[in-house]
């Protein structure tokens, strides 16, 4: 359970760091590239220090494909946050857990026990409640183009989580850091090219947010891989999404004085009950 909580908190931290970077007018391409480089180096050093066996072909394949999914999702995420704002984008990201959940159930036959299933369903129910925000003047109705971009963000982030779940399926113990080093290394190469094309406005201050984001990615994804070794993904991903949104809402209330709506409060209670049920095993 500790690994799942760590994965959830660092996942929420990722969104908060991106939000703060955007608010401080950082170059999000620079932040993203530095983030992936840091995360790749973190896991490369960890793998070498631990004397982990050389990465196998499946580790390379899933790592490279996962890295492409990660950087592709980030590439769409950056302009989406700039155009649509943070709240809508965050909601789309969290709701994309439905993709790895469906694949895990339909392809890999995951079937948690009855009580945990109820908890997983409640976590999914909590997501739209936590994601709902009253209309904002800066976030008007979505155009046809915006809807397609939202679909791309939804699918892209779902594929990111699916890559992590896919690594668990091939069952390669001791390869976790090699897998994440390859994943983030692939993402870093593409992100650095994106940064070069969008380098205008880059400053030394971008490094701080990039490193913070890298810590969230490196630690959060390692904890997520470990959590999936103990829990089914149909429990892990709803838990991570729902509880992560609760944490984000509470942090925003304390740090930025944002109001917690009545709908969010209902979502928090629902998520809390889901956590209790998921932890019954």
Convert the pLDDT of each residue in 182-201 to its tens digit: 999 999 999 999 999 999 88
Mean pLDDT of 261-265: 78
Is pLDDT of 1 > 80?
no
Q: What is the pTM of this model?
A: 0.85
Mean pLDDT of 226-245: 87
**Number of residues in the chain:** 281
Taking alpha carbons only, the member of 63, 34, 27 closest to residue 213 is 34
Q: Residues 84-122: pLDDT tens digits?
A: 555 566 667 777 888 888 898 889 888 877 887 787 788
The pLDDT score that the predictor gives to residue 132 is: 64
Mean pLDDT of 44-62: 92
Q: Residues 10-50: pLDDT tens digits?
A: 988 988 898 889 889 999 999 999 999 999 999 999 999 99
Contacts (Cβ under 8 Å, ≥6 apart) of 185: 36, 40, 44, 63, 67
Q: CA–CA separation, 261 vs 272, rounded Å? A: 17
Task: Write down the mean pLDDT value for the chain.
Answer: 84
Angle between helices 57-84 and 144-170 (to 10 degrees): 160
Taking alpha carbons only, the member of 3, 183, 153, 182 closest to residue 88 is 153
Residue in the structure block whose two tokens are 């429990």: 235
Q: Report the chain's terminal Cα–Cα distance, integer Å.
A: 11
Domain span at 199: 2-278
Name the H helices within the chain: 2-23, 28-50, 57-84, 86-95, 98-106, 114-131, 144-170, 176-197, 206-227, 233-256, 262-278
Is pLDDT of 83 > 80?
no
Is pLDDT of 146 > 80?
no
Residue in the structure block whose two tokens are 């630690």: 219
Taking the mean position of all CA atoms in its chain, how far away is CA 111? 23
Is pLDDT of 53 > 50?
yes
The pLDDT score that the predictor gives to residue 40 is: 97
pLDDT grade for 76, boundaries at 50, 70 and 90? confident
User: For the chain, what is the domain count?
Assistant: 1
Is pLDDT of 202 > 90?
yes
Q: Residues 114-139: pLDDT tens digits?
A: 887 787 788 778 777 766 666 544 44
Q: Are 235 and 116 in contact (CB under 8 A)?
A: yes
Q: Are 241 and 15 in contact (CB under 8 A)?
A: no
Q: 260 is written with which tokens?
A: 């917690």
Q: Residues 240-251: pLDDT tens digits?
A: 888 887 888 788
């Amino acid at each position: 359970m500790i690994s799942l909580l760590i994965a959830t908190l660092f996942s929420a931290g990722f969104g908060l760091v991106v939000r703060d970077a955007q608010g401080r007018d950082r170059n999000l391409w620079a932040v993203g590239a530095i983030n992936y480089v840091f995360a790749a180096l973190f896991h490369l050093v960890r793998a070498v220090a631990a004397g982990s066996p050389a990465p196998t072909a499946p580790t390379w394949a899933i790592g490279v494909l996962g890295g492409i999914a990660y950087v592709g999702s980030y590439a769409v995420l950056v302009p989406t946050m700039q155009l649509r704002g943070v709240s809508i984008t965050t909601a789309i990201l969290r709701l994309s857990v439905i993709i790895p959940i469906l694949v895990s159930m339909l392809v890999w036959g995951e079937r948690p026990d009855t009580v945990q299933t109820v908890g997983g369903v409640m976590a999914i129910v909590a997501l739209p409640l936590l994601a709902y925000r009253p209309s904002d003047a800066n976030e008007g109705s979505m155009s046809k183009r915006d809807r397609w971009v939202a679909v791309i963000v939804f699918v892209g982030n779902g594929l990111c989580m699916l890559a992590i779940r896919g690594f668990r399926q091939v069952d390669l113990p001791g390869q976790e850091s090699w897998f994440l080093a390859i994943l983030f290394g692939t993402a870093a190469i593409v992100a650095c090219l994106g940064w070069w094309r969008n380098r205008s406005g880059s400053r030394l201050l971008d490094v701080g947010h990039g490193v913070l984001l890298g810590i969230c990615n490196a630690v959060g994804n390692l904890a997520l891989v470990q959590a999936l070794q103990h829990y089914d993904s149909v429990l892990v991903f709803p838990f991570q999404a729902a509880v992560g949104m609760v944490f984000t809402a509470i942090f925003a209330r304390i740090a930025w004085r944002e109001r917690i709506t009545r709908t969010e409060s209902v979502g928090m209670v629902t998520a809390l009950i889901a956590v209790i049920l998921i932890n019954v095993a």
